[in-house]
Structure 1
């Protein structure tokens, strides 16, 4: 087997995403797990005035996290550029799909030293809160919130219109 084939084989077995309702009572593999299939990580980059979906963030492999060592101490990345990984969960209401849970987590990246600051407990908590339909964006700067709002509206205006007044208010401040 060539090295290309063996690396492809490793990648295909690296992670299994469980879909559908794993709590249907069968009690087998995956019982009690949660589904992440309605969640998407949106990267907000206020440095370049852009926001985009990067599914790699689900496994700490987003564009901004690649080729840097993640550190848990902000002081070790004093010149890091600010980015946000915003965990967006889509729900379905009486009017159709909407942005149900939205929670932003800070990350600071300094490419010159190949280091980044990221609080893993904060990211996990914000993913969980997003899954539970919470809006946690008050700690984001106004420019980043505007980029996020513009992205969500442009991505799907109907979902934005169906979203809660709380989300619209937080992103309009």
Structure 2
């Protein structure tokens, strides 16, 4: 019988393309970064049993999750490289929710590839996300491409 080769490493390693990835949650008026979303363990997801049954959509409250990929501008400044937005519905009363995991993965991929996919966000959500970047990470926001900023401010 062949013996398993264990490395003894205790740290989780992240592929390079995911090392600059994080999630910004838009939950009502609250906008915040939640790194737990990378493992489907954001603050709003914990304790919720999710279904991809379309009948569950619209039950509870809508929460938008925006995958944010960070990179470097042409001037080598930290910037937002890509954005991918998706939604979920959370009903804390019965600890159930709706989300399409495939859509979350696809939007994460869009962000990592440097694309901007925020169609699921309404104009008010886009403005709040732009304000979040401008107020909390002004240097990153200003170094981001004009097309990315315009996508949020349109």
Superposition TM-score, scaled by structure 1 size: 0.78
Alpha-carbon distance change, 52 to 79 in structure 1, aligned in 2, over 3 angstroms: same
- Worse-matched range after superposition: 33-42 or 103-112: 33-42
**Post-superposition shift, 1:34?**
4.9
Q: Aligned pair 1:43/2:39, yes or no?
A: no
Deviations 1:108-136 (A, max 9, x none): 10111211111111010111110000000
Q: Which residue of 1 aligns with 2:140?
A: 159
Aligned length: 145
Q: What's the C-alpha RMSD, in Å, of the aligned pairs?
A: 1.7
The correspondence for 1:63, drawn from 30, 43, 56, is 43
C-alpha distance in structure 1 between counterparts of 2:58 and 2:152, whole Å: 28
2:63 to 83, 90, 97: 83
Gaps of 5+ in 1: 1-11, 19-32
For 2:125 and 2:135, locate their aligned partners in 1 and report how far apart those are by CA, in whole Å. 15
Task: Work out whether residues 50 and 147 of structure 1, in 8 Å CA contact, stay in contact via their aligned partners in 2.
Answer: no
Q: Distance in 1 between matches of 2:58 and 2:124?
A: 21
Residue 74 in 1 paired to residue 70 in 2?
no
Aligned counterparts, 1:88-167, within 5 A: 88-95=68-75, 96-167=77-148
Quick one: distance in 2 between partners of 1:116 and 1:161?
Answer: 36
* TM-score normalised by length of structure 2: 0.87
CA spacing shift, 1:77–1:115, aligned 2, 3 Å: farther
Residue 77 (structure 1) shift: 4.6
Query: Offset at 1:36?
Result: 1.1
Where do 5+ consecutive residues of structure 2 fail to align? 1-8
Which of these residues, 7, 13, 31, is aligned with residue 17 of structure 1?
13
- Contact 2:70–2:80, Cα closer than 8 Å, also in 1: yes
Corresponding residue number in structure 1 for 2:3: none
